[in-house]
Amino acid sequence: MFNEHDIADRLSGRLIGNRVHFLREVDSTNIYASRLAMEGAPDGTVVIADCQTKGKGRMGRVWQSPPERNIYTSIILRPAIEPAVAPQITLVTGVAVAELFSEYCPKDVTLKWPNDVQIKGKKVCGILTEMRTSGEKIDFVIVGIGINIGMKKEEFHEEFRDSSTSLSEEVGTDISRLDFAVKLYASFERWYERFLSEGFIPVKDAWMKYSGIIGKDIKITLRDDIQAGKAVGIDEYGALLILNGKNRTRRIMAGDVSLTGD
């Protein structure tokens, strides 16, 4: 059990978490954070909840959010960047989470485009970035992060049981959600500030290092459409680059990636 004062005390003086909204239960921290942002909440405000009743995943999916097991958080950002490059923030977040996971499970952490962080090939973290623009400018970005910290294998819905896991299942010990949340905001802040001051290149380099798919044959499924090829990198808009059978590079903007080769 923890509350917003526990978190706020440990984040004082930082950008990320300069305001903390802690909720026992919420529909979705992303929805709550969007509402706060529309009311003027400052850059770096975070929302964190013990439980979500309508946790949102990508592409209209549900994000399993049982009480007091995991981390469900959303960060409000107001970056002075072009809306077109905002997807880079999802990759910044992935790198920040992957680096933190590596402290617990060195060598077993991979990033799966666009937004999954995996341990031993199983999903432990999902990221859902949403944005509001006014005119040509970003009004705010909401970075939603769900991290399975303490969920037991049998608690995952059957359809995810083989493809998802939690940090404590992999590490073999209990992990404090409070300690982890504090480290998460600090890691995010380091990478986010680096991104704002040095640009996307260092993020891209780190992302490539953690990527589990570069150089491999993959397919990307988006509803009825399937594209196949060799993953060769990501571009500055966060799009995945694949080399298809005709040796042509294609940019992939959305979809679910799976490996096809050995």
Piece of 69-77, 81-89, 187-195, 251-259 that binds ligand BTN (CB under 6 A): 69-77
CA 44 to CA 189: how far, in whole Å? 9
Closest distance between ligand BTN and the C-beta of residue 232, in Å? Answer: 23
Contact between 65 and 176 under an 8 Å Cβ cutoff? The reply is no
Residue 193 CB, shortest distance to ligand BTN, in Å, is 22
Q: Of residues 11, 50, 72, 164, which one binds ligand BTN by CB under 6 A?
A: 72
Closest by CA position to 96, among listed 234, 199, 192, 166: 192
169 by DSSP, 3-state: which? helix
Q: Which residue's CB is nearer to ligand BTN, number 19 or number 194? A: 19
Question: Among residue numbers 148 through 207, which ones bind ligand BTN (CB under 6 A)?
Answer: none
Beta bridge mates, 117:
111, 125
Which is nearer to ligand BTN, 28 or 187 (by Cβ)?
28
Nearer to ligand BTN, 57 or 202 (CB): 57
**x-or-dash pattern for ligand BTN, window 24-53, by CB under 6 A?**
----xxx---------------------x-
Tokens at 25, concatenated? 């239960």
- Determine which residue in the list 17, 55, 94, 238 makes contact with ligand BTN, applying CB under 6 A: 55
For residues 84 and 156, is the Cβ–Cβ distance under 8 A? Answer: no
Kindly tell me which of 127 and 231 has the beta carbon lying closer to ligand BTN: 127
Does residue 67 contact residue 50 with C-beta atoms inside 8 Å? Answer: yes
**Closest separation in Å from C-beta 117 to ligand BTN:** 9
Minimum CB distance to ligand BTN smaller for 146 or for 229 = 146
Q: How many CB atoms lie within 10 A of CB 190?
A: 14
> Residue 66 or 233: which CB sits closer to ligand BTN?
66
Q: What is the DSSP letter of 104?
A: H
| 74-133 binders of ligand BTN (CB under 6 A) | 74, 115-116, 126-128
CA distance 65 to 252: 29
Closest separation in Å from C-beta 131 to ligand BTN: 14
Report DSSP letters for 124-144, one per residue: EEEEEEEEEEETTEEEEEEEE
Token digits for 235? 């571009």
Contacts of 243 (CB under 8 A, 6+ apart): 229, 230, 232, 249, 250
Which residue, 72 or 210, has its beta carbon nearer to ligand BTN? Answer: 72
- Spell out the residues 6+ positions from residue 202 whose beta carbon is closer than 8 angstroms to its own: 194, 195
| Shortest distance in whole angstroms from residue 23 CB to ligand BTN | 11
Among 63, 140, 180, 188, indicate the residue that binds ligand BTN (CB under 6 A): 63
Give residues in contact with ligand BTN (CB under 6 A). 28-30, 52, 55-58, 61, 63, 72-74, 115-116, 126-128, 144-146
